[in-house]
């Protein structure tokens, strides 16, 4: 088992990464300091992994909230189901919430934990690659709104993250690739040697080679932990983790939540960002080709949906947490392995990029 630390002073916490960690009951138990425990999960994950979590905490009063599976259920309404249960069962402020699932469950669970009685303990058990390398670490929690992705939320750190690499065996190929999109992101924004490793080892990742997956998860979490420790509340460098996301979130919202997986939208969005970085003279053509090629190698889409016009992108991108006074700001690449901070975009150049792809 590998252990990394997210260094946030009195709110620091460990990330455990390894095979079969869910079967190590004492590991979870060690971080649960209450009798009352609520598990939030969905109807795909519950039949697979709920019982092993229940077995780890045999003496607790455990409530389980199972919501339907899908990005379209990442809403205030479904977070409300957690509050309904906690109140109905008279859960106290020292209760613990365990989020068992992918990024949807982790973001919703963290938000519910942040809000219930102004904050209860919470533990992340991420079960997708995307959640293990990104969403479970760093304390961004929240839900979608019909007018904007992740627009309602809170920063709220978990007590620990338990990433069991074995659970990735049941993940669909498409979901594995979606997770790889966020892995590639770390290479692009701040870790050129990792990007080069990914270029050389993509087939190993897609084949779910244990060593390759463990290495990629650990390296990604290390990158994320460093960024979050430096800038927990995103006043600077943390925004670089949003490479491709301004375009990607527009695709997710514009196409209807769930049509494009988050990682797929990020892959396409990063190709937009690469194109714009090239137009601004930051990246050369060969570098743009390498970026598009690595997403293709990960079996991710690189072409935007035909249905979205430039005007639609601009409308949706004007609702983004990086924007200031309504001006669209995006993360670009100065070079492979080096991201910019949010850049105010010249609208005519942004339009060129959008029209180059979207029409
Ligand atoms: P997801 O949570 O929808 O999970 C993907 C699918 O895999 C679901 O159908 C799920 O039920 C299924 N699944 C999960 N674990 C499984 C397993 N072990 N075996 C079989 N099936 C399994 O999607 P995701 O890609 O994990 O997360 C995407 C979400 O994460 C988005 O809402 C995105 O906004 C959010 N996100 C948040 C952050 C953050 O910092 N908080 C970062 C990146 C993404
Ligand atoms: N996924 C972006 C962040 O955690 O900041």
Report, as an integer, the average pLDDT of 267-289. Answer: 97
Domain definitions of the chain by residue range = 2-170, 173-357
Kindly give the distance from the C-alpha atom of residue 112 to the centroid of ligand 1, in angstroms, as a whole number.
17
Name the residue among 237, 147, 165 with its Cα closest to residue 205: 165
Which pTM value belongs to this model? 0.97
Give Cα separations from 57 to 29, 64, 229 (angstroms).
Answer: 6, 13, 31
**Any atom of ligand 1 within 6 Å of the Cβ of 264:** no
User: Which contiguous run of DSSP H or E holds residue 251?
Assistant: helix 245-255
**Any atom of ligand 2 within 6 Å of the Cβ of 138:** yes
Kindly give the distance from the C-alpha atom of residue 91 to the centroid of ligand 1, in angstroms, as a whole number.
27
Query: Which pLDDT score, from 0 to 100, does residue 53 have?
Result: 98
Decide: 229 and 11 in contact? Cβ < 8 Å.
Answer: no
Domain 173-357: state its class.
mainly alpha
Confidence bin at 175 (pLDDT 50/70/90) = very high
Could you read off the pLDDT of 29-43 as tens digits, one per residue? 999 999 999 999 999
Q: Whose CA is nearest to atom 21 of ligand 1?
A: 171
Query: Which pLDDT score, from 0 to 100, does residue 358 have?
Result: 62
**Any atom of ligand 1 within 6 Å of the Cβ of 140:** yes
Confidence bin at 325 (pLDDT 50/70/90) = confident
Distance (Å, whole) CA 4 – CA 225: 8
Kindly give the distance from the C-alpha atom of residue 261 to the centroid of ligand 1, in angstroms, as a whole number.
9
Could you read off the pLDDT of 46-74 as tens digits, one per residue? 999 999 999 999 999 999 999 999 999 99
Query: Which pLDDT score, from 0 to 100, does residue 346 have?
Result: 87
> Which atom of ligand 2 lies closest to the CA of 234?
5
Point out the ligand nearest to the CA of residue 238. 2
> Is CATH 3.40.50.1970 the classification given to domain 2-170?
yes
């Amino acid at each position: 088992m590998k252990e990394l630390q997210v260094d946030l002073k009195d709110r620091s916490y460990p990330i455990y990464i390894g095979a079969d960690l869910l079967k190590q009951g004492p590991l979870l138990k060690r971080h649960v300091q209450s009798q009352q425990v609520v598990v939030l999960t969905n109807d795909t994950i519950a039949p697979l992994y709920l019982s092993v979590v229940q077995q780890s905490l045999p003496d607790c009063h455990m409530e389980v909230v199972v919501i339907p599976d899908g990005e379209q259920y990442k809403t205030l309404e479904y977070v409300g189901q957690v509050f309904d249960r906690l109140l109905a069962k008279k859960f106290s402020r020292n209760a613990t919430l365990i989020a068992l699932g992918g990024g949807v469950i982790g973001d919703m669970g963290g938000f519910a934990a942040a809000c219930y009685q102004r904050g209860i303990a919470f533990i992340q058990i991420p079960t997708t690659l995307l959640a293990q390398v990104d969403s479970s670490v760093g304390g961004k929690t929240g839900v979608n709104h019909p007018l904007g992705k992740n627009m309602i939320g809170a920063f709220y750190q978990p007590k620990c993250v338990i990433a069991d690499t074995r659970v990735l065996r049941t993940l669909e190929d498409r979901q594995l690739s979606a997770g790889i999109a966020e892995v590639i992101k770390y290479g692009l924004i701040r870790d050129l040697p990792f990007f080069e490793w990914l270029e050389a080892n993509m087939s190993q990742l897609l084949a779910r080679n244990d060593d390759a997956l463990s290495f990629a998860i650990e390296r990604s979490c290390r990158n994320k932990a460093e960024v979050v420790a430096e800038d927990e509340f995103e006043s600077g460098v943390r925004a670089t983790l949003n490479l491709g996301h301004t375009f990607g979130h527009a695709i997710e919202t514009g196409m209807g939540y769930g049509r494009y997986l988050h990682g797929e939208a990020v892959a396409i969005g990063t190709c937009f960002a690469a194109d714009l970085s090239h137009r601004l003279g930051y990246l050369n053509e060969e570098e743009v080709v390498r970026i598009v090629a690595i997403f293709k190698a990960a079996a991710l889409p690189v072409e935007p949906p035909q249905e979205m016009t430039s005007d639609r992108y601009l409308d949706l991108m004007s609702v983004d947490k990086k924007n200031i006074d309504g001006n669209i700001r995006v993360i670009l690449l100065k070079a492979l392995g080096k991201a910019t901070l949010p850049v105010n975009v010249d609208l005519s150049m942004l339009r060129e990029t959008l029209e180059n792809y979207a029409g």
